[in-house]
Amino acid sequence: MSRSNFNNAVVSFLVPLPSILFYLYFVNHLQTNNGGASLSPLWSWCFHHPLLLANVLFFFNVNVLFWVIGRIQSSNWMIDLYWTVIPVMLVYYYATHPLAQFDLWRSKVVIMLTWVWSIRLTHNYFRRENWQWGAREDWRFTDMRRQYGRHWWWISFFAVYFSQQIFLIGICLPLYVVHSVDKPLNMWDFVAASVCLCGIVIAYFADTQLHDFVTTNSKLKQLGKPMVPNLDRGLWRYSRHPNYFGEQLWWWGLVVFAWNLGHGWTFVGALINSMCLAYVTVLVERRMLKQEYRAEAYRLYQKTTSGCVPWFKSSVIAVKDKDI
């Protein structure tokens, strides 16, 4: 392991400690004060406002601290890694907060699903990065760095970090609802769990197929052979972005849990995330079309293959006839 890789790994394990230690001290302080009978204003506020406390911890521990580290390293790589970890931290925070009330089995199912989702996405992150910690930042951040130039140092705080608070806290609202309403399990919980699990499975296979495709093309490039211009096999035969589709199924499955508990308004977080991801797909496809060796093949792929939701391919002949 290189020195920079080791340093980044150490930093990654240390950065959440401020929030974790603060929360543990709060819980311990609550227990030693007869369950909150005589709390100071600070601890009383933490006790009565679990959702606001989560936002405060996110702001200082992620937005501010991650931004400072990003400025020091000249790379905003860490937020990508913690996208796969923060939902796990949030679900445990909501489940252990002193005001939490929930059905134990629903909580266990949701926590287990969140772990499975996180492990899958974390594995995909490290596989994509060749098992390196912080080897590079997301290409979209790199493009914005070039676009905003000398103003990037302050714009990055809002574009990279503050926006992530809106997205992550928003899409994780169902995790809060699950641990704030005590209602017996019913059929809709099984529907929600099935949707979540289907999303995880689809995203896993789609990302695996994409990884194999990229790996094969890298080997062909090293050998000086022509690269395969486009991935249109497996799940990618039926959708141009099956990995994104699977990811969205996961988040909307969580919304079903919250809707079943009388908090359907939490769909707002998943909706904002879906809209953001729709914009990302536009950026990804523009990037594809800028690569000369695959531009023509990708244009045909766009005409014959569903954008997100998997569906049967359109007839190439029918498309050509329509164009004529």
Q: Does some domain include residue 323?
A: no
Q: What is the C-alpha to C-alpha distance for residues 210 and 135, in angstroms, rounded to an integer?
A: 20
- Nearest-angstrom CA–CA distance, 224 and 227: 9
- The pLDDT of residue 95 is 98
Residues 94 and 160 in one domain: yes
Kind and range of the H or E run holding 102: none
Assigned domain for 321 exists: no
In terms of residue numbers, what domain contains 71? 1-122+130-182
197 and 84 both lie in a single domain: no
The number of beta carbons lying within 10 Å of the beta carbon of residue 319 is 13
From 138, 156, 182, give the residue that closes a domain.
182
pLDDT at 257: 98
Same domain, 146 and 20: yes
Do 178 and 291 sit in the same domain of this protein? no
pLDDT tens per residue, the chain (324 residues)? 688 899 999 999 999 999 999 999 999 988 887 665 667 889 999 999 999 999 999 999 999 999 999 999 999 999 999 999 999 999 999 999 999 999 999 999 999 999 999 999 999 999 999 999 998 999 999 999 999 999 999 999 999 999 999 999 999 999 999 999 999 999 999 999 999 999 999 999 999 999 999 999 999 999 999 999 999 999 999 999 999 999 999 999 999 999 999 999 999 999 999 999 999 999 999 999 999 999 999 999 999 999 999 999 886 544 444 444
Those residues whose C-beta lies under 8 Å from the C-beta of residue 173, and which sit 6 or more positions away, are 258, 263, 266, 268, 269
Tell whether 45 is covered by a domain: yes
| Residues belonging to the chain | 324
Give the pLDDT of residue 33. Answer: 76
Do residues 141 and 225 share a domain? Answer: no
| pTM assigned to the model | 0.93
The answer to whether the beta carbons of residues 246 and 202 sit under 8 Å apart is yes
Neighbour-count burial of 238, counting CB atoms closer than 10 A to its CB (0-12 exposed, 13-18 middle, 19+ buried): middle
pLDDT value for 36: 57
Tokens matching residue 182: 């005590």
Does the residue 314 lie in any domain? no
CB 261 within 8 A of CB 184: no
Domain-located, residue 42 = yes
Structural domain includes residue 141: yes
**In this structure, are 153 and 27 located in the same domain?**
yes
- Return all residues near 113 (Cβ < 8 A) that are at least 6 apart: 193, 196, 197, 200
* Shared-domain flag, residues 140 and 235: no
Both structure tokens of 29 = 């302080």
Residues 4 and 37 in one domain: yes
* Residue 315 in domain: no
200 and 175 in one domain?
no
Residues 111 and 228 in one domain: no
Whether 320 is covered by a domain: the verdict is: no
Residues 160 and 257 in one domain: no
For residue 321, what pLDDT is reported? 42
Say whether both 204 and 278 belong to one domain. yes
Q: What type of residue sits at position 221?
A: K
Give the total number of structural domains in the chain. 2
**pLDDT for position 323:** 46
